[in-house]
Amino acid sequence: MAPDLTCDLLGLRLRNPIVLASGVLGTSAALLTRAARAGAGAVTSKSCGPAPRAGHPNPVAVDWGYGIINAIGLSNPGAEEEARMLAEARAGLAPLGVPLIASIFAGTSAEYGMVARVLAGAGPDLIEVNISCPNVADEFGTPFAADAQSAAEVTEAVKAAVGTVPISVKLAPNVPSVGRIARAVVEAGADAITA
């Protein structure tokens, strides 16, 4: 008899706790559905921003012997096209009972809110707020995840934009006090933390 691995994530029933991480397969309905059929408990789309972005030129990933280091550069089609792709992915995942998580990024709190509002219209089960990437407002700027006040402002903007759609804020591990930042986003309305 197989063990029961079902679990609850913010009211979503997952058949197991394995979630496809953002960026691994993009947002293609065919690839996200493939991950669901392969056993993922939930799938996360590639992070999307307000406008199309080409990302960094190849090579963007290197195998260093103990894993892969990447610097994709947040390539994405922009919020409007991403919403269309998410709706298609949602239609393919719904019969499988696998939740869809939409990942977003932006350069300002207001942009985060706009992207969240557009993608919420596609019906994802959860929105992951990626504040951990430093290459947004400027290539070498401070990530929102490095400052509790900035992280809270982004969280508030997204929460106000999405209504009842739950949000999970994706934190960065390389900060002086991840606990302080986690508390700030939870106090600002985050339903969960992606870490």
Q: How far apart are CA 112 and CA 129, in angstroms?
A: 8
Gap between the Cα atoms of 181 and 143, Å rounded: 12
Structural tokens at position 64 = 């260093």
Q: Which residue is catalytic, options 133, 146, 182, 190?
A: 133
> Half-sphere exposure of 122 toward its Cβ, with a 13 Å CA cutoff?
30
How far lies 107's CA from each of 52, 134, 154, in Å? 13, 10, 10
Cβ burial of 178 (10 Å; 0-12, 13-18, 19+) is: middle
Examine the residue annotation and report whether 48 is marked as an active-site residue of this protein: no
Strand 68-70 and strand 61-63: the pairing is antiparallel
**Catalytic residue positions, numbered:** 133
